[in-house]
Amino acid sequence: MSNDLIKDNKKAWVSAVDMGYGHQRTAYSLKSLAFKDKVIMANNYEGIPDVDRGIWKLAKNFYESISDFKKFPFLGNIAFGVLEKFKKILSFYPKRNLSKPNFSLKLTSFFLKSGWGRDFITKLGKNPLPLISTFFMTAFMAEFFNYLGDIYCVVCDVDIARVWVSSKPAQSRIKYFAPNSWVVERLKLYGAKEENIFLTGYPLPLENIGSENLEIAKMDLGHRLLNLDPQKSYRKEYYPLIEKYVGLLPEESDHLLTIMFSVGGAGAQKEIVIKYIKSLAKKIKNQEIKVILMAGIRKNVYRYFLENIKIIGLENNLDKNIEIVFAETVDDYFSQFNQKLRKTDILWTKPSELSFYTALGLPIIIASPLGSQEFFNRRWLLRLGSAVDQDDPDYADQWIFDLLNSGWFAEAAMQGFVEVEKQGTYNIKKILSLE
């Protein structure tokens, strides 16, 4: 057997879906484990049957249109409520048996029985490597169509709806990678077998971590702490803690205080981003702060940001201390995102899968959540102490800097870094024995 074949046989199929960035971003961090280092899109692969593509497209359009529609007070709330019924997360307490299948699971079963996903699983089955899916439906497809390899499902939020676990959990062979202990317990309530649940932590990108020694994450956090603690109040009180977890700090930061705005793949909250930029405009002009606006692969979002930056009068600051990041492909976007994140001090985002990026030592300003899972993510971040809700956009130049000068952002950065698991990608690799 050639060395290339041996190498590929020590890999897995890594699958995601193109429905927002969450599932794709999670899979991107696992590319090093993927066969030929490639993530496969279950809803957009070469040779996908038209019927399957149509079902996936319907689901994607429904999600994205309703997410964007949410900004309209009355009709938006009604439409969004319809979507939420499909993925609502029930209260955890009182602890009880939640294994009974709901309407969402019955609906997925209907589509599976119609043949949805058979072609995808048949293609993967020609080389039945372990399958790592970042979306429950792909894992369901693999189990329904008798995929011969092991089936793993990566949970991308701090809590999940019942639809993530099979209708017959006691008989299911799907194994779960859980990002936190709460998800472990939630999976048990849904009936998932304990031996099929692995507490791994969320898989963070290796380019932001480094080796298992976390040398990149520690170096970046060291520079970040200098920007987040301009009065040195946090460092004076907690330097032993910093030295223990981060090491010696550099004499000065290698970048200007930087805020990254990443508020959703569909650009549903792009308008409020501009409101905050208007408030911060004076500080941007005075080179006191740098902002990065993530447009993803949405050209319309990029154009919206560009036009409004010009209207605000920040055109001369473009590509200096105000950047708009746009890419033609998702992979290129994630690559740029991770690179820019290394010189980011504050992450401004919806409480999506990016909530777990607080583990890198990133304090988070929370934009308005969309959907049950994001409300749970928000609650987790606030309890952790590594995030704060966004405040009045008209006075962002005041409340952000009040928090900054108090040392709160530095404390939040350390809370995320110390308390949240950072080895998720490596833990998954070890479980799959892909060494």
CA 90/CA 102 separation, integer angstroms: 11
Q: How confident is the model at residue 371 (pLDDT cuts 50, 70, 90)?
A: confident
Q: Residue ranges per domain, the chain?
A: 3-199, 207-419
Write the class of the CATH domain 207-419: alpha beta
d(CA 310, CA 129): 51
Neighbouring CB atoms inside 10 A of 171's CB total 10
Least confident range of 83-87, 187-191, 197-201, 365-369: 83-87
The pLDDT of residue 263 is: 82
pLDDT at 78 over 60: no
The fraction of the chain above a pLDDT of 90, given in percent, is 84
Query: Is pLDDT of 73 > 80?
Result: no
Mean pLDDT across the chain, nearest whole number?
A: 92
The pLDDT of residue 268 is 65
DSSP 8-state assignment for residue 360: G
What is the distance between the alpha carbons of residues 391 and 399, in angstroms, rounded to a whole number?
8
Distance CA 19, CA 352 (A): 13
Residue that is written with structure tokens 């993803």 in the block: 296
Instruction: Please give the Cα distance from 430 to 33 (Å, whole number).
Output: 11
Which pLDDT score is estimated for 370?
81
The 258-262 sheet, strands edge to edge = 322-326, 290-296, 258-262, 346-349, 364-366, 387-389
Confidence of residue 267 (pLDDT cuts 50, 70, 90): low
Report how far residue 423's alpha carbon sits from residue 435's, in angstroms, rounded to the nearest whole number.
15
Nearest to 163 by CA among 85, 95, 92, 96: 85
When pLDDT is averaged across residues 310-322 and rounded to a whole number, the result is 95
Taking residues 21-28, report their average pLDDT. Answer: 96
What pLDDT, in 10s, does the model give residues 113-140? 999 999 999 999 999 999 999 999 999 9
Token digits of residue 306: 């560009």
Helix (H, G, I), strand (E, B) or coil at 41: strand
Reported as a pLDDT band with limits 50, 70 and 90, residue 84 is low
For the stretch 33-69, pLDDT in tens is 999 999 999 999 999 999 999 999 887 776 665 454 4
pLDDT band at 144 (very low <50, low <70, confident <90, very high): very high
Distance CA 313, CA 178 (A): 46
pLDDT for position 435:
55
For the entire predicted model, the pTM comes to: 0.92
